[in-house]
Amino acid sequence: MAQKITRTWWGERFLEALQQQMDSGRLSRGRAYAGPNRLLDFSVKGQKIEATLRGNVNHYFGVYEEPRYEVLIKLKAIDAAKWQLIIQDIVHNAAWVSRLIMNEMPDNIQQVFAQHNVSLLPASNARDLSTDCSCPDWANPCKHVAGAYYKVASLLDRDPFLLFELRGMDKATLHQQLANSPLGKALLAQITQPDEIPLEYAEHHYTQPKYLPSSTITLKQFWHVSSPTPIENNTTTIPVSAALIRKQGDYPQFWDRDDSFIEIMDAVYQHVSTKNKAVL
């Protein structure tokens, strides 16, 4: 079973824009061009996605040397004035601010864009998304365009802010405006608070050796303690904020599974807290 290209709803919606513009045959072949063996060079510059892909040698069509194809994908930028209005609406919504600061895409984020007659995710029409490739295929988008587009969709899983950049909003600027808002300041203060609390570690529950002065300890005493230290039932709860886990996002760079990292960690936390309810 082939691994999914993207695992988030916004990544899937991003792919839909391309799926509605090209036939299924080219789309399926394009998936193979998203891998490192085909994708030789790739970059995102503002609203432009540029890529160089390795083509096929085909003696039947007179192609004896491996071709290289240049792909260009452009997304239409949202007007700067509208971006400021959109951000003003976002920073007054606690749910949106908290999810975005945690590197997550709010499920209903499209609502704020619709209120200003724009869309964050690209539509299927040529005004929102334009593509070009140097290959001889008469169809546009071609399989090489699909390969580069698949690559972008996979990157969106780990960095949803890339979608904002592709629509004309710089990631650093967005982060700064979120962080400087009253809701953003309150949330960031809560996230960083555990770091300011000194941790009190629980006593060790295993028998500890009785330490003797180095001048008097012998090898036998080292391995065979004459009187073991009694076990003390002394536990201390360590304050750890789940925000530190959630800040990694659903699909951080080290996470290669299809299920959400946050959902898995939430299940682990629930299991540990239930199992150790008596001592926590």
Half-sphere exposure of 203 (CA within 13 A, CB side): 11
The answer to whether position 2 is within a domain reads no
The answer to whether position 47 is within a domain reads yes
Is it the case that residue 126 has pLDDT exceeding 70?
A: no
Rounded distance between C-alpha atoms, residue 182 and residue 19, angstroms: 40
- Cβ-in-10-Å burial (0-12, 13-18, 19+) of 72 comes to middle
Q: What is the pLDDT of residues 40-69, one digit of tens each?
A: 999 998 889 999 998 877 766 666 788 899
Q: Which two tokens stand for residue 111?
A: 């609502």
Is it the case that residue 84 has pLDDT exceeding 90?
A: yes
Q: Are residues 89 and 155 in the same domain?
A: yes
Q: Are 129 and 122 in contact (CB under 8 A)?
A: yes
Q: Are residues 174 and 215 in the same domain?
A: no
Q: Are residues 14 and 117 in the same domain?
A: yes
The percentage of the chain sitting over the pLDDT mark of 90, rounded to a whole number, equals 19
Residue 204 structural domain: 199-275
Q: Are 268 and 241 in contact (CB under 8 A)?
A: no
The answer to whether position 169 is within a domain reads yes
Is it the case that residue 241 has pLDDT exceeding 50?
A: no
Q: Are residues 45 and 73 in the same domain?
A: yes
Q: What is the pLDDT of residue 235?
A: 40
Rounded distance between C-alpha atoms, residue 89 and residue 106, angstroms: 14
